[in-house]
Structure 1
């Protein structure tokens, strides 16, 4: 069938410290905190969402915040790096910002046709800044931490590590319809999505490497975009027909979701573009108070008592990136 997945919807990772996470992603990266809610499957933990001005699909990075969670182990069967897109002209700005805040980084290095800077967040999660041609035309979040011309423009793609590349290639190419556009040594690059929000997925074949362990500082899953519920249902039927272990449709309030692991164990989600994040907050007030789904509202008092205190960013959407917050990767 013709591929009608529109790109990456969001990437979800795990943090052990909600406040430090907010400080870093809003204060250093300059993303907007667009939603503070809870993990619907574990209401004792925050679920934090970051993105552009209203959290358009393709700009969203989210975190499950499990206080004191042990550090995970990066390895095969995981998303091992999440890449943010920046304009080519912004490489120098971001290198200067990394130096200013004393954050260790690698690069810029050339990967296929792009320049890449790699760093780790305070939990050790690998985050990349990818200089992408033509991305400057897409708008980022116009907060105060980052000049608009240098702002992050969304999710550029992800890198996964696989022990058995062939099985993963079958799912990506033959079932999901991703296009294999380049390969170099043991890295295979796939492209998918609509022209205006095209995403890339790199598969690094790491045969014999140890398995990853999901915990703090690792990615939990990557979500792909479906425009409508009808498209999502069609994909559900396709996945079932190909004997992939796909879940029933889950109501995540801001989108509807199905989940399935590919043969190498990387967890994928297919999420709908709608209803979106302004369903319970105005665009101006996004991310300014704890939001719960209707089925958890009756437990609000108990949930708020269990959740750790959280200092919200300023009205402009950024937290102060304090000296405590600069202890990256420690």
Structure 2
């Protein structure tokens, strides 16, 4: 019987820091990058050994700038990786060199253990494993083969029903109990992988989010084995089981009695089913079942660089934002502000169609309206929180100045494109902070300022695009008048459309951008 750990999946808030830790520090190889199988707008990275073997795989879902989760009962809580016992000193020195907080080495079940935390706070243990070890997983040139991480050693699960959790895993997944100490029941597979079930009775419950482990996947020989376990789980009414073809493996999901999510995944077809060993991890794969334009998906996913590759470091600025730099950047930039209910990824595919060679900088509004992100609050259908408009316009103006420096943007070759609430924010910022925005595309915009100043917008160029059947369309003329009276050159186009935007808007925006920044 094949048993052991297939992979462990966790959630990260900042993908670049995650890559730097798992590839740059630990020396694992990036073996696969995909869009999420449940959500195409979620980047999913797989790290492992040179060929992405089952038992070596750590995978991460990127919730870029997402809310932190809470570690608690009903959740995997620690990752353990195998190294040779003699390598403990190497990793202690390496962690200190990288200025990385650590504790240990300290013995756990007779093995020396160094405890580290990854950038999201997930505990990663390096375990001196005296058993037979496979070839090293490390691909980092500065890590000698004898010191390298070899495989996943195990995981820790927090359970308020530790006995029931342990018995459930032993009954269905080929693990057996071997020891108990300090409130931990240790289970071992025939591959010598371990699951430590910690008695977490009285702990708070877990909450999903960044910095947490989503699930542990256990190894199945083949699809027939998965289906047999699925039938056994249904027979004992173990709860909902979901089966999925994940391209690289076939698996089921089930929650053990303490609530932690477990996956049971086949060894095959494996990470090499769609890539050669030498190109593993170099191509983004979008699951076919989404039936969406891969270019749109790529535009929405966060970018990152592997160690040694050129990268753009995302700066800590007043607005949550996403930067997308194309392979053939031409020195222009397009800054995107979404409408109500959007976020920093919503307009990225639209922006990529408008300006495929421009650096895209897309913001998330800091206000909310009935739970939806906005750039300022709405009081009624056509009245708005004036104090918030003023304060958020000031914050946006400061953001723009900082972003110009941080990302090397040329104000004369930068266009600001906003839709609905985002367009209104751009218009208000132009009126309140003249000179900060020099080129703007305002889609379905209206004037939102009750007492607008009289700025000097000489030299500013604005394209407004209004929908003929847009219920807010009649309010666009007031904004056009204010901008024109301030000296801006305004072209207001009327399209046979409503409030939604589409290809005709993108075509007008593209021609405007080609005219003003080339």
**Structures share a fold, TM > 0.5?**
yes
CA RMSD, Structure 1 to Structure 2 (Å): 1.9
Q: Measure, in 2, the Cα distance between the counterparts of 1:252 and 1:137.
A: 26
Superposition deviation, residue 230 in structure 1:
1.1
Q: How high is the TM-score relative to the length of structure 1?
A: 0.90
SS, match of residue 26 in structure 1:
helix
Q: 2:63 aligns with which of 52, 63, 66?
A: 66
1:303 is matched with: 297
Task: Tell me what 1:82 maps to.
Answer: 79
* Distance of aligned partners of 1:231 and 1:102 in 2 relative to their CA distance in 1, 3 Å threshold: same
The correspondence for 1:265, drawn from 259, 271, 281, is 259
Match of 2:171 in 1: 174
Q: Is 1:259–1:267's contact at 8 Å kept on the other side of the alignment?
A: yes
Contact 1:26 1:319 in 2 (8 A): no
Contact kept, 8 Å, 1:86 with 1:135, in 2: the verdict is no
Which runs of structure 2 are paired with 1:32-71 in the superposition (5 Å)? 32-71=29-68
* Higher normalized contact order (CA 8 Å, seq sep 6+, divided by chain length): 1
Shift of 1:293: 2.4
Q: Is the 8 Å Cα contact of residues 3 and 175 (structure 2) preserved in structure 1?
A: no
- Are residues 27 and 297 of structure 1, via their aligned partners in 2, closer, same or farther at CA, if it must alter by over 3 Å? farther
2:179 counterpart of 1:185: no
Look at both structures and tell me which one has the larger radius of gyration over its CA atoms.
2
Q: Per-residue deviation at 1:159?
A: 0.7
Q: 1:280 to 1:175 in 2, by over 3 A?
A: closer
The match for 1:225 is 219
Contact map agreement 2:13 2:210 (CA 8 A) in 1: yes
Say if 1:28 and 1:145, in contact at 8 Å, map to a contact too.
Answer: no
Q: What is the deviation of 1:229?
A: 0.9
Q: Is the 8 A contact 1:83 1:155 kept in 2?
A: yes
Question: 1:270-317: per-residue Cα shift (whole Å, max 9, x none)?
Answer: 001111111111100001121122334642021012112222455xxx
2:243 to 225, 238, 249: 249
Higher deviation after alignment, 274-283 or 95-104: 274-283
Correspondence 1:294 to 2:294: no
SS at match of 2:228: helix
Quote the Cα distance in structure 2 between the aligned partners of 1:207 and 1:248: 28
Q: Which residue of 2 aligns with 1:109?
A: 106
Deviations 1:207-231 (A, max 9, x none): 1111121211110000001111111
Contact 2:242 2:254 in 1 (8 A): no
Quickly say closer, same or farther: Cα 1:137–1:170, change in 2 above 3 A: closer
Distance 2:305 2:157 in 1: 33
Moved over 4 A (4+): none
Q: How many residues align?
A: 313
C-alpha distance 137-227 of structure 1, shift in aligned 2 (>3 A): closer
Give the 3-state SS of the residue equivalent to 2:112 in structure 1: strand
Q: Given the two structures, how large is their TM-score scaled by the length of structure 2?
A: 0.58
Of 11, 33, 48, 1:14 maps to 11
**More displaced stretch, 35-44 vs 161-170:** 161-170
For residues 311 and 142 of structure 1, what CA distance do their matches in structure 2 show? Answer: 16
SS in 1 for 2:153: strand
Q: 5+ residue gaps in structure 2?
A: 316-518
SS in 2 for 1:273: strand
For the structure 1 residues 108 and 308, does the alpha-carbon distance in structure 2 shift closer, same or farther, using more than 3 Å as the test?
A: same
Q: Structure 2 residue aligned with 1:213, among 207, 216, 219?
A: 207
CA shift for structure 1 position 5: 4.1
